[in-house]
Amino acid sequence: MSVRLFRCLRPVLLMLASLVLLSCTRLDLAYRNLDVLVPWSLSDYLDMNRQQKNWLNQRVKEELSWHCKTQLPGYLGWLDNIRQMVASNQVTDQQLQARTEEARAAVSRVAEQITPSAAQLLRGMDDEQVREMRENFAKDIEERQAKYVKTPLAQQIAERGERMEKRLSPWFGGLSPQQKDRVASWSAQLGEQNRAWIANRAHWQAQFSNLMDQRHSDNFEPRLGELLKDRDRFWTPEYRIAFANTEQQLRSLLVDLMTQSSEQQRQQLDQRLGKVRRDFSELKCLKS
């Protein structure tokens, strides 16, 4: 799975509870830009040589073909379910939980599919590349801490609310004062979630980094598969609690926003969902 494609699909897959509010609509563009696609943002942390890039580009094409032909058709039905929820005013906590579980299953299938290719690529990394990756991991955490943790909590809460309003705007249009207050309340309820999130990110990166020391062993691929497919098994206890709260708070926010929505907002949401569905259905790989 490619980084840019995954970034586009990740909100669709992992944040199904958000009614695709956080999803990327440039799915066709993501499928075309194969030259810059690298699994799980690896390109952010590692410089590959030409041979590795050429190998990866070919493998990415194969994985994207598999994904488009075998996985994307299922997303069409999922989007239809979301539109029906909106049309029938059944955006409930129970329905959102169901869509989220469907998303997790989709992500799991993708992780399982890409594991052999990922293992083959990572086995080919030399010691200098692994060292560079670790340095970039450390830089990544340092930068995120500076941006999201080492700022006053009030600022974190305000910026989180601003980011959510920005994500909601294309789907709902302008939010009403009541809806803006609800977003602000949602952000405040998450408190210091940023700290738990980044600490957990560092924890996962450390486990991945340690696994790279064993990349030539027989059990490297199955252990890599566990890290990719069952990421929640490797979460810190603090993040496990924070994540459950984050999901619950997001579902509550979306239910309330829909309850507070105007007819015009619901129409805009349905139109945007329809556009996302068309973007999926018009991909050439679905028609080949």
- Contacts for 183 with CB less than 8 Å, ≥ 6 apart: 161, 164, 165, 168, 175, 253, 257
What is the pLDDT at residue 13?
38
Task: Give the confidence band of 44 by pLDDT, cuts at 50, 70, 90.
Answer: low
pLDDT at residue number 64: 77
What band does 154 get if pLDDT is binned at 50, 70 and 90? very high
- Domain residue ranges in the chain: 3-287
What would the two tokens of residue 214 be? Answer: 């064993």
pLDDT at 202 over 70: yes
Residues with Cβ < 8 Å from 108, sequence gap 6 or more? Answer: 229
When pLDDT is averaged across residues 191-212 and rounded to a whole number, the result is 94
pLDDT for position 43: 60
Rounded to the nearest integer, the mean pLDDT of the chain is 82
Predicted confidence (pLDDT) at residue 12 exceeds the cutoff of 80 = no
Q: What is the pLDDT of residues 156-171, one digit of tens each?
A: 999 999 999 999 998 9
